[in-house]
Structure 1
Amino acid sequence: MTHQSRRPGTTPHDEKPAQPTAPSTGAPSVASFAALELPAPLLRTLDGLGVREPFPIQAATLPSALAGRDVLGRGRTGSGKTLAFGLPLLARTSGRRAEAKQPLALVLVPTRELAQQVTEALTPYAAAVGLRLATVVGGMSIGRQIAELRDGAEVVVATPGRLHDLVERKACRLGRVRITVLDEADQMCDMGFLPQVTEALDLVHPDGQRMLFSATLDRDVDQLVADHLHNPVVHSVDPSAGAVTTMEHHLLVVHGPDRYAVTTEIAARDGRVLLFLDTKHAVDRLTQHLRASGVRAAALHSGKSQPQRTRTLAQFKDGQVTVLVATNVAARGLHVDDLDLVVNVDPPTDPKDYLHRAGRTARAGESGRVVTLVLTGQRRETTRLLAEAGIEPTVTKVRSGEAELSRITGAKAPSGTPLDGGPPASRPKNTNTPFRGLGTSKDTSRGTGGKSRKTGEARKLAEARKAARVRRGG
């Protein structure tokens, strides 16, 4: 694959990258969209959708981005980054027309869900200025995406892997792309997409505008900035997810056999809740249990097809599903209005994961709670991890059915009426394995599935005595 020449002011990979710590001088921030030199159709669309005052990251970056400057923006998800890059991208591309297979603007994102969310957010504004959008992601028909590119799309929103495939097939050429956006750049690097991202940046027009948005600016992101952004205007206007003042953090210490019951009662609350687990199998198993308990739950993980994932997210957003059970695939790029509770059923293993999971709530100034369930033996390690993330949680010991659990999470008993026509949720044996099924407190768990050890021994003794009486003829 032929690469364009490196942009002026960048350094080869073997040189120490410049650290983008001090902001360049850019245009001052604005108090309203009307104060910006946006095309009239975009201003009318903003007003029609009730979007009148820019969020801080938009107010800070829009003047520089509209002027064509490279922009480096640090802000958590939910801070309004999509319009921060979307409005200048559309404004500066309007009036131009793409040729077959040759888009004019590119937005790279790490996940399919984020790609679709960005496309949905920008669609009304793109339509207002007559620009065509194409979403290029894995898990969907590549033939249909090739056709959209062939028909001409001015703006492409893509995940790095599928874009690489289309470039390899010569179905997409990036040489005419003059505006490139990297959204959630740190996650793309964490997911191993750095080579594909670098490849795409080497293929777009060398004198084009680059905008990079990231929640963190670590080594790989610094390298991208040093290699591909020219004298960027740097803005860091939002705190990390965990530092949001409207967000509460709770560490709930639970008894091992009671954890599934606690989770089930939290899931049965009034209002939506997002539950995070580590594995696809655990997600599917908990979802099945919740639905058998009468809770409107749905699973989201990488093992689901893209149409399934899209449908599940739509149902969660419109309230058909009240509980989304997910792996880290939902930790970024998921925006749901009025989501005020996130629960780590499995504690995260990395501070970044915690912050991104937490970032699904308390978005755009709203309030929210983040609850992490831990066993006694996990408490010290999880507390240390949260400290690394800058979080000092409120620690509470809880059991299912207790008022304190309800006070913190809104937990309540599920209806117990299965949603899918099967039998009610079973109550497996009282063991210390995670996710054993619906359990209760110490007093009632013994009889909730299988006999206790004492009961089994008593039965054997009674049977032996009966056999002895039979042998004696008594």
Structure 2
Amino acid sequence: MRRSMTTATSSTTFGGIPLPSSLLARVRMMGARRPLPIQQAAMSRVFAGESLAIHSQTGSGKTLSFMLPLLLRLRVGVPRQVLVCVPTRELAVQTLEHVQALSPMAAVLLRGTEPDLLRTSLAQQDAPVLIATAGQLAKLNAVLEARGGEQVLADLRRTLRTLVLDESDAILGPKGKGGMLNRSRRNRAMEKLPQAQALRRLVERRKDAEHTRVQLVLASATLSARVMRDLAFVVGRRAATDEP
């Protein structure tokens, strides 16, 4: 069994999960003296590997509620264990800064939006946490469909254990009038979205993967039942909902 990157050395807990003193000090330096309601509700479930939808208003501590337990679950020396997808580059940079405040070397931003550059970036990254934009997720599908894409996908799925969609309602389409479509038409529209196709490929079960079932974590201030149905259609399963 591989060792975790972080091992608790005392009974100190935060949000129901054990924290070593060094990490607890970093959490407190971020201004988190005690867990906020959404953190108390979600952290232990994320730490246990449960697929979960975290629905809470902006500024309520959502990012810490999933990133802290995910960092605690990382295995030493294993690349690309967590893929965090966000709507924009600005949010990607903010997420990276948040992770670096907890664990300076744990995360990197994926580079490029063109398939060739994105493929190279994936191959070169050994960090356990990758942060990508929705646009990169859509382009990833082109990488997976191109020549050699099966090997790229196999390499990703071999170590990927958690997929996070932060502001998931902004990542999953269709946009515009998509919300007015009936369910059958919306499902057909969803099937054509490259980001939805990439998600489906990433979470498919693989017997040769280190983790045969990928943990899904959704986080949003405006997570709707429609988006939850979209995700269930795309990946073929549902995530429990957690609210403060």
Q: Within the alignment, does 1:80 sit opposite 2:61 as a pair?
A: yes
Q: 1:178 aligns with which of 158, 161, 169?
A: 161
Q: CA 1:164–1:63 in structure 2 vs 1: closer, same or farther (change >3 Å)?
A: same
Distance 1:45 1:229 in 2: 38
Q: How does 1:255-334 map to 2 (within 5 A)?
A: none
Distance 1:224 1:167, change over 3 A: closer
Given that 2:141 and 2:197 are in contact with CA atoms closer than 8 Å, whether structure 1 keeps it comes out as: no
TM-score (structure 2 length as normaliser) = 0.68
Note the residue ranges of structure 1 that are not aligned, 5 or more in a row.
1-31, 238-474
* Partners of 1:112 and 1:138 within 8 A in 2: no
Does structure 1 conserve the Cα–Cα contact (< 8 Å) formed by 2:113 and 2:136?
A: no
Identity of aligned residues (%): 30
Structural mapping, 1:44-443, within 5 Å: 44-98=25-79, 103-127=80-104, 131=106, 133-136=107-110, 143=117, 146-147=120-121, 149-166=123-140, 168-169=142-143, 170=149, 173=153, 174-175=156-157, 176-190=159-173, 192=175, 195-205=193-203, 206=205, 207-214=213-220, 215-225=222-232, 227-228=234-235, 230=237, 232-237=239-244
Q: Is the 8 A contact 2:113 2:139 kept in 1?
A: no
Is 1:178–1:204's contact at 8 Å kept on the other side of the alignment?
A: no
Secondary structure of the residue aligned to 1:211 is: strand
Contact 2:111–2:121 under 8 Å retained in 1: no
Cα offset for 1:134?
A: 2.1
Contact 2:118 2:140 (8 Å CA) reproduced: no
Residue pair 2:42, 2:65 contacting (<8 A) in 1 also: yes
Change (3 A) 1:35 1:62: closer
Q: Is the 8 A contact 1:106 1:179 kept in 2?
A: yes
Deviation of 1:212 (Å): 0.9
User: Alpha-carbon deviation of 1:40?
Assistant: 4.7
Q: What's the CA shift string for 1:404-455, capped at 9, x where partnerless?
A: xxxxxxxxxxxxxxxxxxxxxxxxxxxxxxxxxxxxxxxxxxxxxxxxxxxx
- Aligned residue identity for 1:222: R
Q: Distance in 1 between matches of 2:238 and 2:50?
A: 8
> Equivalents in 2 of 1:70, 1:143: separation in Å?
31
CA RMSD, 1 decimal:
3.2
Aligned-partner SS, 1:204: helix
Q: Which has the larger radius of gyration?
A: 1
Query: How far is 1:86 from its partner?
Result: 0.8
For these two proteins, the number of residue pairs brought into alignment is 199
Mapped to 1, the partners of 2:125 and 2:216 lie a distance apart of 25
Q: Please give the alpha-carbon distance, in whole angstroms, between the structure 2 residues aligned to 1:51 and 1:145.
A: 37
What is the distance in 2 between the residues matched to 1:137 and 1:55?
A: 33
Gap change, CA 1:34 and 1:68, over 3 Å in 2 = closer
Number of the residue aligned with 2:7: none
The SS at the match of 2:172 is: helix
Whole-angstrom distance in 1 between the partners of 2:195 and 2:42:
22
Q: Segments of 4+ in structure 1 off by > 6 A?
A: none
What code does the residue aligned with 1:33 have? Answer: F
Using the TM superposition, give the Cα deviation of residue 234 of structure 1 relative to its aligned residue in structure 2, in angstroms. Answer: 1.6
- Residues 51 and 240 in structure 2, CA contact (< 8 A), matched pair in contact too: yes
Q: 1:181 touches 1:211 (CA, 8 Å); kept in 2? A: yes
1:222 Cα deviation from its structure 2 partner = 2.1
Matches within 5 A, 1:5-24: none
- Residues 115 and 199 (structure 1 numbering): CA distance in 2 closer, same or farther, change over 3 Å? same
Match of 2:9 in 1: none
Q: Distance in 2 between matches of 1:162 and 1:91?
A: 26
Q: CA deviation at 1:185?
A: 1.1
* Aligned partner letter, 2:103: A
Gaps of at least 5 residues in structure 2 are 1-12, 144-148, 176-188, 206-212
User: Counterpart amino acid of 1:186?
Assistant: D
The residue type equivalent to 2:168 in the other structure is A
* Matching residue of 2:184: none
The DSSP-based 3-state class of the residue aligned with 1:216 is: coil
